[in-house]
């Protein structure tokens, strides 16, 4: 009985092999095998890495309440790479593409093929070109090293570029154009704009504004008011401050005027951060260049290479950023260093704002 069962099974296997070996069935199986290979090696990577997805495009107006978290060394925002297009067709986020969840490491900027192809691309900041040519997945791309671990990448470009590897570019310099048609793993013309910090992709909207974005405004009491330099000189002289210098105070006033931030607030912050920089401090000549401790400290990194005017502008931009989303009834200076501020805080010390408020009120009251 057992032998008879095995015989029947063997007969079925032989019949199946015979069917497969017939010319017609064999051709069908070969065709199906080739089709599977095409899907696996041609269409599947395209589907997985495609930049097409179902997100609703964003426009400049939807970013009107935002300010970049990071600022360039000159105290201003980095440059938006495509001034002619403000439409973001895909954001920096996890995306579900054909059942596969992947991180989109940048933002896509596009506005339909006719309005996107060959549009000019500009460097978001000064730096050195480390790639200008073919790049896996990006088609044609440009990579710029801005120093201090900051890198920007521009993908799906035209092969006709305005820069080469090794070129040193300036902020806002024309570097290339968006490619035509499908360039790299893409479903159509667009710029893939990617920003990395120490090798880790970060949201480009932490660094750049789309064209037409309205800059945020400060609470009126923190807005610009002309600095009474003679009075402030006296105020600082009483404290034997190295900031009691007409040229330095003029720089601070200019920064306040440029950014529409009270220069009295800027000076008040130096009081809390550096006790107004006493002249007898062994490092006074260095500290007065960055008494706001922008970029973390006056003593190292980007914070050590600034002029007083540059540091004042960066501090003013930080105040603008942190002043957003001010809840009703909250003290605007306390909000600058509140731990529940979604945009960060100026200082770790919970009492920071108390000292700043005290100095700010003294300076404003005495200025007349």
pLDDT value for 248: 95
Q: Which two tokens stand for residue 7?
A: 């015989």
pLDDT score, position 74? 65
The predicted structure's pLDDT at residue 12: 58
Which domains does the chain show, CATH number per domain? 2-49 (no CATH), 60-206 (2.70.70.10), 220-367 (1.10.530)
pLDDT at res. 52: 38
C-beta separation of 272 from 352 below 8 A: yes
Which has the closest alpha carbon to 319: 350, 341, 299, 288? Answer: 341
Quick check: helix, strand or coil at residue 176? strand
Take residue 224 and report the two structure tokens written for it.
């610009």
Angstrom distance (rounded) from CA 245 to CA 263? 15
Confidence at residue 188, expressed as pLDDT on a 0 to 100 scale: 79
> In this predicted model, what pLDDT tens digit does every residue of 293-349 receive, in sequence order?
998 888 888 888 889 998 998 899 899 889 988 999 999 999 999 999 998 999 989
Low-confidence spans in the chain with pLDDT less than 50: 1-3, 17, 20, 37-56, 60-61, 63-66, 98
Identify whether the C-beta of residue 161 lies closer than 8 Å to the C-beta of residue 141. Answer: no
Interhelix angle 2-21/23-38, nearest 10 degrees:
70
Distances (CA, A) of 165 to 136, 197, 314: 17, 20, 31
d(CA 256, CA 333): 16
Q: Is 93 helix (H, G, I), strand (E, B) or coil?
A: strand
């Amino acid at each position: 009985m057992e032998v008879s069962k095995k015989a029947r099974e063997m007969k079925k296997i032989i019949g199946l092999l015979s069917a497969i070996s017939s010319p017609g069935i064999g051709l069908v199986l070969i065709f199906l095998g080739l089709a599977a290979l095409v899907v696996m090696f041609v269409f599947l990577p395209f589907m997985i890495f495609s930049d097409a997805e179902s997100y609703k495009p964003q426009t400049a107006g939807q970013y009107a309440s935002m300010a970049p978290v990071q600022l360039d060394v000159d105290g201003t925002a980095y440059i938006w790479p495509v001034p002619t297009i403000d439409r973001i067709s895909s954001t920096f986020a996890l995306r579900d593409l054909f059942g596969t969840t992947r991180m989109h490491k940048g933002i896509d900027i596009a506005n339909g093929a006719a309005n996107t192809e060959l549009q000019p691309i500009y460097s978001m900041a000064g730096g050195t070109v480390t790639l200008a040519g073919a790049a896996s997945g990006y088609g044609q791309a440009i990579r710029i090293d801005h120093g201090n671990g900051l890198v920007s990448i521009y993908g799906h470009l035209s092969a006709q570029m305005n820069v080469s590897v090794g070129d040193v570019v300036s902020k806002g310099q024309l570097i290339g154009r968006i490619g035509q048609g499908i360039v790299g793993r893409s479903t159509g013309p667009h710029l893939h704009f990617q920003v990395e910090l120490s090798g880790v992709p970060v949201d480009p909207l932490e660094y750049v504004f789309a064209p037409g974005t309205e800059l945020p405004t400060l609470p009126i009491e923190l807005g610009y008011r002309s600095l009474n330099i003679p009075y402030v000189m006296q105020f600082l002289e009483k404290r034997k401050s190295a900031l009691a210098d007409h040229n330095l105070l003029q720089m601070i006033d200019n920064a306040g005027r440029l950014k529409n931030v009270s220069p009295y607030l800027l000076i008040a912050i130096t009081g809390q951060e550096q006790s107004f920089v006493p002249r007898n401090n062994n490092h006074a000549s260095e500290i007065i260049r960055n008494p706001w401790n922008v970029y973390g400290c006056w003593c190292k990194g980007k914070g050590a290479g600034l002029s007083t005017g540059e540091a004042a502008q960066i501090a003013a931009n930080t105040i603008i950023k942190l002043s957003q989303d001010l809840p009703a009834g909250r003290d605007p200076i306390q909000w600058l260093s509140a731990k529940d501020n979604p945009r960060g805080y100026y200082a770790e010390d919970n009492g920071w704002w108390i000292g700043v408020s005290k100095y700010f009120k003294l300076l404003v009251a005495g200025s007349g």
